[in-house]
Amino acid sequence: MTRGRIGPGGLAGLQNRDGGAFGGSGGFDSHTSPPAPRRLPLLVAAALALALVPPGLAAQDTTEVRQGAVILEAPAATPAGVSDSAFPRPPVRPLGAFFRSLAVPGWSQAILGRRLTAGLFIAWEGVTLGMTIKATRELRHLEAQGSGLVEGKRQEREDWLTLLVFNHLFSGLEAFVAAHLWDFPDDVRIRAA
């Protein structure tokens, strides 16, 4: 084996003369050279972005004002404590609505003008509270008699208590969302374009 130079490939002992398993003519490994710049994805993305821009958008003159045109201005900063009439505040803030309806289901719904929802939460509160009281009285009666049905009645009372707690929690969460969506329009429709 000779240790001389064979040209631009470097020392003779470092070159791959027979091409190895992949064939080829030898020389340095192609994986060590820097990768070719990949401009094609950038060019495709730029062309796609330009294709999505509506025609005439880049050529708009923002200084021209047509006669009869409505000019929208940014609203001036409102002083503290004064509400902006363009974005009215809900009668109760979302977190306050959550805690009110968590305490008394239906309270915030009634304040927000959601009468049917408030009525449903109040009615379910009455049902679960009434059934919890009934199951508790029956449980006391069965315990006083020493009946074997005590465990089943205790489970029934726990079920009604669980429903009562979930009614409070669900009412609070519904009030929180309703306060956030208070000024959302009711008549939103989907139209085919």
Model confidence pLDDT, tens digit, residues 73-83: 544 555 555 55
Question: What's the rounded mean pLDDT across residues 111-121?
Answer: 92
Helices (H), 11-114: 40-52, 94-103, 107-111
Structure-block tokens of residue 22: 């992949």
What is the number of alpha carbons within 13 Å of residue 23 lying toward its C-beta?
0
Question: What's the rounded mean pLDDT across residues 130-140?
Answer: 94
**Span 148-176, pLDDT tens digits:** 889 999 999 999 999 999 999 999 999 99
**Span 6-41, pLDDT tens digits:** 556 555 555 555 555 555 555 555 555 555 556 666
Higher pLDDT pick, 148 / 132: 132
